[in-house]
C-alpha cells in the first residue's frame, strides 16, 4: 500500500498510471504482469511475484514524489582553457566550444525535463526521475572526451552537490 499525499492525483487508465501534482505530471506504462489499483488516497500494487510488486511500488513512490515536489539536480561545467557554453532551444541542447571544437555537440531533453544554464552552473529539473537522469546521461555522453587522455583533459559536466 502506498499513501498518496494531498495535492497529488493518481489515476489508472488501462496499463498507464498517471500521477499529477503541483510539480507536474508523470506517466508510466506497466506491463501486463503488474496491476495498480487506486482507491481514495491509497494505491495498491499486485503482481505475480514479490520482486515485481516491490519494483512497481518503488516506481509509483518516485512518481508521487516527483509529481509533488519534482526532482532537481545541480551540475557544474568545468573547463581548463576553452569556456564551455550550453544553449537550449526547445528540446535540443547544444554544447558549444567544448575542448575548443568548432562544431557544437548536440543532445536532447527527455520528457518534461527543464535545463537552466547560467554561466558554469547547470540545473536540470523535472517531475520524472528517470527523465531527469536520462537527460543528465545524454549531456555526459555528448561531452565524452574521445581520442584524448581523460586524465589530462578533464573538461566536462560534474555534480555540484558532491554526492
Residue boundaries of the structural domains of the chain = 2-68, 71-159
Which pLDDT value is given to residue 134? 96
The pLDDT value given to residue 163: 47
Residues 6 or more apart whose CB falls under 8 angstroms from that of 130 comprise 62, 111
CA dist., res. 52 & res. 127, Å (int): 23
* CATH number of this structure's domain 2-68, picked from the four choices 3.30.230.10, 3.30.390.30, 3.90.930.12, 3.40.50.300: 3.90.930.12
Within the chain, which residues score under 50 in pLDDT?
163
Torsion of CA 48, 62, 22, 157, to 10 degrees: -140
Give the fold, CATH level 3, of 71-159: Outer Surface Protein A; domain 3 (3.90.930)
Burial of 26 (0-12, 13-18, 19+ CB in 10 A): buried
pTM assigned to the model: 0.89
In this predicted model, what pLDDT tens digit does every residue of 46-66 receive, in sequence order? 988 999 999 999 999 999 999
pLDDT recorded at residue 33: 86
Beta bridge partners of 48: none
pLDDT of residue 89: 94
Q: Do domains 2-68 and 71-159 have the same CATH topology?
A: yes
Amino acid at each position: 500500500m502506498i499513501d498518496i499525499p494531498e495535492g497529488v492525483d493518481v489515476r489508472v487508465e488501462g496499463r498507464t498510471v498517471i500521477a499529477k501534482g503541483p510539480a507536474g505530471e508523470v506517466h508510466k506504462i506497466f506491463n501486463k504482469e503488474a496491476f495498480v489499483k487506486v482507491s481514495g488516497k491509497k494505491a495498491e500494487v499486485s503482481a505475480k511475484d514479490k520482486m515485481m510488486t516491490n519494483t512497481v511500488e518503488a516506481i509509483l513512490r518516485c512518481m508521487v514524489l516527483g509529481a509533488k515536489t519534482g526532482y532537481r539536480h545541480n551540475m557544474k561545467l568545468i573547463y581548463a582553457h576553452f569556456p564551455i557554453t550550453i544553449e537550449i532551444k526547445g528540446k535540443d541542447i547544444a554544447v558549444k566550444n567544448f575542448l575548443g571544437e568548432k562544431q557544437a555537440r548536440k543532445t536532447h531533453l527527455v520528457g518534461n525535463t527543464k535545463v537552466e544554464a547560467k554561466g558554469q552552473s547547470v540545473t536540470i529539473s523535472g517531475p520524472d526521475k528517470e527523465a531527469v537522469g536520462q537527460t543528465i546521461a545524454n549531456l555526459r555522453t555528448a561531452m565524452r572526451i574521445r581520442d584524448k587522455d581523460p586524465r589530462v583533459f578533464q573538461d566536462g559536466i560534474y555534480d555540484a552537490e558532491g554526492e
